[in-house]
């Protein structure tokens, strides 16, 4: 801390500039809507979309910009879902409209492929929030690879009251 001489002269006491710590996190929120098994879970797909919206609102209101990507086609752009939200929350309505118009039957690619794309293009040190009800081995392997490259990862797995929680152990 340094003495602020101008402020000290103005008030007659020694004044020190105090700086707030800032959070500089490169954050990516990835969501997986794959529901390819025989038994379908539409409630978990909807819960995934609610989590995406809620987390995005929380992050941008905390002044954290966020990149959001999913493995589903946007019916207007016909491209896989992608959106940048600047800090402050000014684009939350646009995000919610994009999420609302998703046709969950128009899967672009698997959750593992979504993670594979991140492995290929991620040159920055991102913190990932991955939202998926799926937990096959290929997703686990991709998450482990992202982690081994220095990325922080939070995996959120939506469940219902009747869902069995997956039991697996990640290696150290």
Give tens-digit pLDDT for 37-96: 777 788 899 999 999 999 999 999 988 999 999 999 998 889 999 999 998 878 899 999
- pLDDT above 60: residue 20: no
Of 6, 19, 47, 31, nearest in space to 159 by CA: 47
Mean pLDDT of the chain: 86
Q: Which of 86-90, 121-125, 144-148 has the highest mean pLDDT?
A: 144-148
Helices 92-100 and 42-61 sit at what angle, rounded to 10 degrees?
170
pLDDT of residue 21 exceeding 80, the answer is no
Helix (H, G, I), strand (E, B) or coil at 44: helix
Residues in the chain: 172
pLDDT at residue number 26: 85
pLDDT exceeds cutoff 70 at 167: no
Residue 116: the pLDDT is 94
Taking 90 as the threshold, does the pLDDT of residue 166 lie above it? Answer: no
Nearest residue to 131 via CA among 47, 57, 7: 47
Local structure of residue 76 (DSSP, 8 states): T
Mean pLDDT of 108-131: 90
Q: How far apart are CA 127 and CA 104, in angstroms?
A: 26
Q: Calculate the alpha carbon distances from 106 to 24, 83, 109, 117 in Å.
A: 35, 18, 9, 19
pTM of the complete model:
0.78
């Amino acid at each position: 801390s340094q003495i602020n001489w101008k402020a000290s002269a103005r008030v007659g006491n020694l004044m020190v500039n105090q700086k707030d710590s800032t959070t500089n996190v490169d954050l990516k929120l990835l969501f997986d809507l794959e529901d390819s098994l025989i038994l379908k879970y539409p409630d978990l797909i909807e819960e995934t979309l609610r989590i995406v919206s809620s987390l995005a609102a929380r992050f941008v209101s905390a002044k954290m910009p966020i990149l959001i990507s999913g493995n589903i086609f946007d019916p207007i752009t016909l491209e896989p879902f992608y959106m940048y939200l600047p800090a402050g929350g000014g684009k939350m309505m646009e995000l919610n409209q994009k999420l609302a118009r998703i046709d969950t039957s128009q899967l672009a690619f698997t959750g593992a492929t979504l993670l594979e794309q991140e492995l290929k293009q991620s040159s920055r040190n991102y913190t990932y929030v991955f939202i998926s009800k799926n937990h096959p081995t290929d997703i686990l392997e991709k998450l482990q690879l992202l982690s081994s490259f220095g990325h922080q990862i939070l995996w959120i797995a939506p469940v219902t009251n009747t869902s069995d929680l997956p039991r697996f152990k990640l290696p150290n």
